[in-house]
C-alpha cells in the first residue's frame, strides 16, 4: 500500500441535476485516483467548482463561488483551484483572462481529466477548442453518488436539437445524443445493487430519447426495460417536451408499476404569440389538452411545469393569459423564471423590453396564484393513506422526519413532514396517513413500514 498522502478535495456543484451527474462523474474519477473528499472547503487542498452557465443569476453564483475559493487560496490551506463545467465550455477564453487564480479549466468533454487537474500533472488545462460538447457518459464511467444512497439521477441523453430562442444550452451542450438502452439498464442494475431504490431520469428532452439513434421504441421502450429491474421502487421521468410526447408514452408511464405517476413537462408559456416568439409553438388550448390526456391516464398523478415571465414583447394581456392558464391547469408543482437575456440565443436580437421590476412582479403574481391552487390540492389529500419515502430528520429540527410521496421529486417539490408514528431509518418506504398541510408540504403520521 502506498504511503503517499491522499489529496484532500472539496467540491462545489452548482446548477441543475444534469450538472450534478457531471460532478458525480468527476468524483468517480477522483475516487479512482485515491482522493480524500472533505465537506469543509477550508480543509481542502484542492477545490473543484462545477459551474452553471444557463442564465445570468447562475453565472453570477458560479463566479462568486470561484472568487470565494480564490480567497481561500490566498488565506488558507487551498493550494489549487479547478473550475469545470458549462461556464468553462461557454466562456473559456474570458475565464482564462479574467480569473488568473484558477489553476485548471475543464470543459464538458474533459471531465475524465479531473484527476490530472487536481494533481497538477500539467500547469494549466485549457478547455476543448470545440464550442459544443460531444461527450456522453456510459455505464462503465466511474461515478460517485452525492445524493442519498437510496436515490440517484440517471442522465439518459445529452444536448438538445430544439431551437428555443431563450435557451443557449445547445450552443455549449451540443446536439441531442441518447445513450443506448443497454447502457442505461446496466447502470440502473448497478445502482440497484448499491441500494438505490429511486431513479430520476433526466435529459434536456427525455421524450425525444432514442429518436436520434433510430430507436422506434424510444422512451417508452426504455421505461419498459427499466421497469423490469426488480430492486427499483420508483422510476421518475423529468423534462418531457410537449411536441415529442406520444400516446404510447403516456400509456406506458401510466401502466408500468415502477414508473411513478409524475409528469414534468416544461411548457414555458401559454400565449400563442409568446410561444411563437420562443419558437416553441402551441397555445393554452393545446397545453390543456395534453395535460388532460395525462390526467385521464394518471388520475392520481402530479403535474409539474416551468414557465418564463418577461420574455421580450410580453404584454400585460399575454401575461394575464398565462395567469388564466395556471388557474385552469391546476398544476401540482410550478417553477417560474424571470426571463434572462442571453447572448448566443435567438431572442438576444429582440429588445429586452420588459423592465426587471415588472418581471419580478409578474413572477410573484404567478407564484401567489399557484400557492392557492397548491393549498387546495394538498388539502384534498388530507385523510389519505399513501406510500412515503422517509429521508431522515428535518434540517431545522430533530423532532420531525421528512419524506416524499412518489408525486414529489427530490429538491424541487414539497415534502411530507412526519410528526408522529414509529421512527424509521432513512431510505425506508412507509405507509403514512396524511393529516395536515404546511405551506407547500403535507404533514403525516407514520403507520408502519411499507
Whether 307 and 366 share a structural domain:
yes
Whether 157 and 94 share a structural domain:
no
* Burial of 317 from C-beta contacts in 10 A (0-12 / 13-18 / 19+): exposed
Residue 414's CATH number: 2.40.50.140
Whether 320 and 374 share a structural domain:
yes
Kindly state whether residue 227 falls inside one of the protein's structural domains.
yes
Kindly state whether residue 205 falls inside one of the protein's structural domains.
yes
Whether 355 and 267 share a structural domain:
yes
Whether 394 and 429 share a structural domain:
yes
Return d(Cα 295, Cα 148) in angstroms, integer: 31
Whether 370 and 263 share a structural domain:
yes
> Which positions of the chain have pLDDT values less than 70?
1-4, 121-130
- Report pTM: 0.93
Element (H, E) at 305: strand 302-309
Residue 65's CATH number: 3.40.50.12160
Tell me the pLDDT tens digit for each residue of 57-70: 888 899 899 999 98
Kindly state whether residue 288 falls inside one of the protein's structural domains.
yes
Kindly state whether residue 443 falls inside one of the protein's structural domains.
yes
User: Looking at 349, 379, 409, which one is the last position of a domain?
Assistant: 379
Return d(Cα 206, Cα 238) in angstroms, integer: 7
pLDDT of residue 404: 97
User: Looking at 379, 410, 428, which one is the last position of a domain?
Assistant: 379
Residue 334's CATH number: 3.80.30.20
Kindly state whether residue 145 falls inside one of the protein's structural domains.
no
pLDDT of residue 82: 93
Whether 78 and 227 share a structural domain:
no
pLDDT of residue 362: 97
Whether 401 and 354 share a structural domain:
no
pLDDT of residue 97: 85
Q: State how many domains the chain has.
A: 3
pLDDT of residue 128: 57
pLDDT of residue 4: 64
User: Looking at 379, 400, 423, which one is the last position of a domain?
Assistant: 379
Whether 94 and 187 share a structural domain:
no
pLDDT above 90 coverage of the chain, percent: 76
β 441-449/429-438 pair status: antiparallel
Contact, 246 vs 292, CB < 8 A? no
β 397-405/416-420 pair status: antiparallel
Kindly state whether residue 444 falls inside one of the protein's structural domains.
yes
**Burial state string for 245-275 with b = 16 or more CB within 10 A and e = fewer than 16:** beeebbebbbebebbbbbbbbbbbbbbbebb
Half-sphere exposure for 238 (CA within 13 Å, toward CB):
23
Kindly state whether residue 26 falls inside one of the protein's structural domains.
yes
> Which structural domain range is residue 93 located in?
8-119
pLDDT of residue 438: 92
Tell me the pLDDT tens digit for each residue of 396-427: 877 889 999 999 999 999 999 999 898 899 99
Whether 75 and 114 share a structural domain:
yes
Amino acid at each position: 500500500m502506498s504511503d503517499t498522502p491522499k489529496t484532500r478535495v472539496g467540491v462545489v456543484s452548482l446548477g441543475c441535476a444534469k450538472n450534478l451527474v457531471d460532478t458525480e462523474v468527476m468524483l468517480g474519477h477522483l475516487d479512482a485516483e485515491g482522493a480524500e473528499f472533505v465537506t469543509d472547503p477550508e480543509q481542502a487542498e484542492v477545490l473543484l467548482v462545477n459551474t452553471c452557465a444557463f442564465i445570468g443569476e447562475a453565472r453570477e453564483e458560479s463566479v462568486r463561488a470561484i472568487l470565494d475559493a480564490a480567497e481561500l487560496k490566498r488565506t488558507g490551506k487551498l493550494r489549487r483551484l479547478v473550475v469545470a463545467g458549462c461556464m468553462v465550455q461557454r466562456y473559456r477564453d474570458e475565464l482564462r483572462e479574467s480569473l488568473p487564480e484558477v489553476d485548471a479549466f475543464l470543459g464538458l468533454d474533459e471531465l475524465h481529466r479531473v484527476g490530472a487537474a487536481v494533481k497538477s500533472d500539467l500547469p494549466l488545462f485549457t478547455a476543448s477548442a470545440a464550442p459544443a460538447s460531444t461527450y456522453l457518459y456510459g455505464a462503465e464511467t466511474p461515478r460517485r453518488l452525492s445524493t442519498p444512497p437510496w436515490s440517484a439521477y440517471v442522465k439518459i441523453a445529452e444536448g438538445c436539437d430544439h431551437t428555443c430562442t431563450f435557451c443557449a444550452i445547445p450552443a455549449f451542450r451540443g446536439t441531442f445524443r441518447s445513450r443506448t438502452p443497454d447502457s442505461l439498464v446496466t447502470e440502473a442494475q448497478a445502482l440497484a445493487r448499491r441500494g438505490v431504490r429511486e431513479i430520476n431520469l433526466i435529459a434536456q428532452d427525455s421524450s425525444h430519447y432514442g429518436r436520434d439513434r433510430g430507436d422506434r421504441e424510444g422512451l417508452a421502450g426504455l421505461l419498459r426495460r427499466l421497469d423490469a429491474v426488480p430492486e427499483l421502487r420508483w422510476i421518475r421521468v423529468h423534462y418531457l417536451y410537449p411536441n415529442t410526447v406520444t400516446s404510447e408514452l403516456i400509456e406506458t408511464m401510466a401502466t408500468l408499476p415502477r414508473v411513478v405517476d409524475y409528469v414534468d413537462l416544461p411548457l414555458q408559456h401559454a400565449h400563442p404569440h409568446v410561444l411563437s416568439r420562443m419558437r416553441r409553438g402551441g397555445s393554452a388550448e393545446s397545453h390543456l389538452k395534453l395535460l388532460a390526456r395525462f390526467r385521464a391516464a394518471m388520475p392520481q398523478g402530479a403535474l409539474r411545469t416551468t414557465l418564463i415571465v418577461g420574455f421580450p414583447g410580453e404584454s400585460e394581456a399575454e401575461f394575464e393569459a398565462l395567469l388564466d392558464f395556471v388557474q385552469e391547469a391546476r398544476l401540482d408543482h410550478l417553477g417560474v423564471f424571470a426571463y434572462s437575456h442571453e447572448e448566443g440565443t435567438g431572442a438576444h436580437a429582440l429588445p429586452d423590453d420588459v423592465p426587471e421590476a415588472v418581471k419580478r412582479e409578474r413572477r410573484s403574481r404567478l407564484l401567489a396564484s399557484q400557492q392557492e391552487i397548491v393549498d387546495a390540492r394538498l388539502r384534498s389529500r388530507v385523510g389519505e393513506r399513501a406510500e412515503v419515502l422517509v429521508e431522515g430528520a428535518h434540517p431545522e429540527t430533530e423532532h420531525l422526519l421528512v419524506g416524499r410521496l412518489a408525486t414529489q421529486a427530490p429538491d424541487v417539490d414539497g415534502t411530507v413532514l412526519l410528526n408522529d408514528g414509529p421512527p424509521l431509518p432513512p431510505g425506508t418506504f412507509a405507509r403514512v396517513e396524511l393529516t395536515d398541510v404546511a405551506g407547500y408540504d403535507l404533514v403525516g403520521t407514520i403507520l408502519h413500514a411499507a
